[in-house]
Amino acid sequence: MAELDTYRSKRRPGRTPEPTGSRARKKSSDSGDRFVVQEHHARALHWDFRLERNGVLASWAVPKGLPMDPHTNRLAKRTEDHPLDYIDFEGEIPSGEYGAGAVKVWDSGRYDLEKWTDDEVMFVLHGRRVEGRYVLIRTKDDQWLMHRMDPAPEGTVAMPELVRPMLATAGRLPTDDDAWAFEFKWDGVRAVAYVDGGRLRLLSRNDRDVTVSYPELRGLGEALGSRQAVLDGEIVAFDDDNRPNFGVLQERMHVVDAARARRLSQRVPVAYLLFDVLFLDGQTTTTLPYRRRRALLESLELKGDHWQTPAWFNGPGTEVARAAQENGLEGVVAKRLESLYQPGRRSTDWIKAKHLRTQEVVLVGWTPGQGRRQGRPGALLLAVPGDHGGLRYAGKVGTGFTDEMLDDLGARLAPLDCAEPAVPGPLPRPQVAGARWVRPELVGEVSFSQWTRDRRLRQPVWRGLRPDKEPGEVVIES
């Protein structure tokens, strides 16, 4: 069969389990023709869409899978015709062979043909997972687009472009354990993951796209395959004792160069710890109670080299807190079992209780360093929200810096120079002597022992910048 010459030329019999295409099978005598969608985990995950036609399977590779609503068009690439035997093929194409990777049948069934020309194929699918009218259209650049002509399946909604994370309130652990779930608090940065067609997009808490910064997390998209999902979690890096460490993570947080991010992922790998699901397969889940969202999340069985779903506990909360402290973790987050997910809101339905006292701060100035810190910042001048709006001075931090942190801070602070402080006086002269004031645009985090009577941070230690947060988001934690 000349139609299969291209197919055969790309495959070596005996080295791949795929059908050889040496003989054609008769078409079914049923009135409808057959179709198959195969999920193909090759070098790039895609879905192979095949229609039975004239004794072969006319084939297209669809990188992000079949569209499920008429507002989303999907790119499709015409590939070589495949033999009819391929319609139920599943298996592992060995490394080194054309199309190497796992193939499994995602959906199959019958289709009704409405139109077939060189530039347009229109049909109605009757599958186990997909029902509806579709069209494949060839574009001017010889690519194809796949479009769903019917409305989205009843009850499904489009995947949201943005869901802002729900925030916890600092406080003490609740005592009515039966009404709460308890999770460990991870010392990292929040990120919301959007997965569509096996592709991952990561947004920080302040809506910045940080996907390029964490290349080792992209496999999470492939792990979900064709499933659409919006997931909430924390990105962490580990120290030599295998404990989440915010200081270690600092090296990964500001990287926007893809090549540098790939190098760092080998030396300072991160993990994405998942604790919520906000959208799944055409359904918004934020209106479900916590207990049901957690059950959905766990049903996804997401566990890989760089992502996992840590356990939650039903109490007692004091025992969970004790276990967190014994394992060197930051604390515990208590979540009301019946609570809904409130995007972008800080709620008392989530309470964070930390062992280590930390505070987000706004940088309002710095004092020049001396000795080893000559030419770099020696200390940072800090502010927190004031009682009646604006900012108030909160003290000075001069410890907890690495040389790399100081170099980075110097570069980031230099363009922000301004003549006057962004905090009202009077200011303590010994602390601000020789100060260089900056516009209040950078957020950082410190640990500290307590608040002093004049409401300044006692014994603050620098933990790092928080590029995932804006100055207006800073709140008094304790």
**218, 222, 209, 219: which is closest to 162 by C-alpha?**
209
CA distances from 31 to 28, 108, 110, 112, 290 (A): 8, 16, 9, 9, 48
Burial 82-104 (b: 16+ CB within 10 A, else e): bbbbbbebeeebeeebebebebe
Classify residue 238 by its DSSP letter: B
Query: E strand or H helix at 262, and its extent?
Result: helix 258-267
Q: Tokens standing for 265?
A: 């992922």
DSSP 8-state code for residue 93: E
Count helices and strands in the chain by DSSP H and E runs:
8, 27
163 is written with which tokens? 């869901």
Q: Which residue among 64, 77, 115, 185 is the active-site one?
A: 185
Axis crossing angle, helix 246-253 with helix 258-267, rounded to the nearest 10: 160
DSSP letter, residue 356: S
| Among 387, 291, 270, CA closest to 337 | 291
Active site residue 26: no
Q: SS3 for 20?
A: coil
Residues catalogued as catalytic:
185
